[in-house]
Structure formats: structure tokens, C-alpha cells
């Protein structure tokens, strides 16, 4: 069977890709996707831990569902904000949203 550490490494890699997405991408939608990736890395971690180490209770699984739900709520608000900005400026590129000093 695949050892636990592989899952953890995969999750960490996913998380790192997500961070890279947030920091390096300029398109707001892509940044949002990066954040999603980070949250999914967390889910992967949780499931792996639950399956391999702590399958005697449901905490891990319940937590995953919570994270999914929260992620959905965040995306809803985030997309709404992006659309609102897009309507007025016709851009979603973060660098062009530069009225304030970053």
C-alpha cells in the first residue's frame, strides 16, 4: 500500500503550488484557484491522516466537509467581488488594480 508520507508529500506539493499561484499569478481568477488548491491540499492531508492514523473517529472526515463548505462560501464572495470590479474596470488582473499602494 502507498505509505502515508507519500500523501503528505503530495499534499505539501499541492499546497506549495497553490502558494505559488497566489503569489505569482496576476489574474484574480487564477489567484482564487491557487487558494482552492491550498485548501484541497489540506483536505488531502486530513483524509490521509484520518485513513492511516485516526480512523476510529470521524473528526477528519467531518473537518473535510467543513473545509469544502467554507471554501465554497469563500469562492462565492470572492467571485462576487471580482465581478464587481470587472464591471467597472474591465480587468481582473491584480496588477492593474493599483489605486492603493500594494
Partner 1 sequence: MSSSDLLSVAPVLIISVWAILLLLLDLFIKNKGLTASLAAAGVAAALVVVIVRFGSDQVAFSGMIVADTFSDFLQIVILITALLGIAVAYDYLRRMNMERGEYYTLMLFTVAGMLLMSLAGDLILIFLAIELLSVPLYVLSGFARPEKGSEEAAMKYFILGAFSSAFLVYGIALIFGSTGTTNMAGVAASIAGNHANLTLLTIAIPMLLVGLGFKVAAVPFHMWTPDVYQGAPSAAVAFMSVGAKVAGFAALLRIFVSALPELSQTWGPVVVAISAATMIWGNVAAIAQSNIKRMLAYSSIAHAGYILMALAAAADPSVSEEAVSAALFYLFAYLFSNLGAWTVVLALERSEGRGLLIEDYAGLGRRRPALALAMAIFMLSLIGVPPTVGLIGKFLLFRVTIDAGLTGLAIVGVVTSLISAYFYLGVVIKMYMGTGEPESRSEGWLNRSAGLTALVTFLLGVLPGPILILARSSGFLTP
> Which residues bind to partner 1, rule: CB under 8 A?
8, 15, 18-19, 22, 28, 31-32, 35, 38-39, 41-42, 45-46, 48-50, 53-54, 57, 59-60, 62-63, 66-67, 70, 73-74, 77-78, 81-82, 84-85, 88-89, 94, 97-102
**Identity of the residue, 8 or 10, whose beta carbon is nearer to partner 1 in the bound complex:** 8
Q: CA Rg, the chain, in Å?
A: 17
Instruction: Give the integer Cα–Cα distance in Å for 50 and 68.
Output: 16
**Identity of the residue, 10 or 19, whose beta carbon is nearer to partner 1 in the bound complex:** 19
**Identity of the residue, 3 or 102, whose beta carbon is nearer to partner 1 in the bound complex:** 102
Least distance from C-beta 35 to partner 1, angstroms?
Answer: 5
Instruction: Kindly provide the b/e burial profile for residues 4-19, where b requires at least 16 CB atoms within 10 angstroms of the residue's own CB.
Output: eeebbeebeebbeebe
Helix orientation angle between 28-52 and 59-89, rounded to the nearest 10 degrees: 180
Least distance from C-beta 51 to partner 1, angstroms?
Answer: 11
Q: What SS3 state is found at 58?
A: coil
Amino acid at each position: 500500500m502507498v505509505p502515508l508520507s507519500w500523501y503528505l508529500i503530495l499534499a505539501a506539493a499541492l499546497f506549495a503550488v497553490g502558494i505559488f499561484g497566489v503569489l505569482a499569478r496576476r489574474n484574480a481568477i487564477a489567484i482564487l484557484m491557487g487558494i482552492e488548491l491550498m485548501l484541497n491540499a489540506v483536505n488531502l492531508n486530513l483524509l490521509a491522516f484520518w485513513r492511516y492514523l485516526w480512523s476510529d473517529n470521524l473528526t477528519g472526515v467531518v473537518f473535510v466537509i467543513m473545509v469544502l463548505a467554507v471554501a465554497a462560501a469563500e469562492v462565492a464572495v470572492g467571485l462576487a467581488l471580482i465581478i464587481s470590479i470587472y464591471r467597472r474596470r474591465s480587468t481582473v488582473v491584480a496588477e492593474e488594480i493599483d489605486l492603493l499602494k500594494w
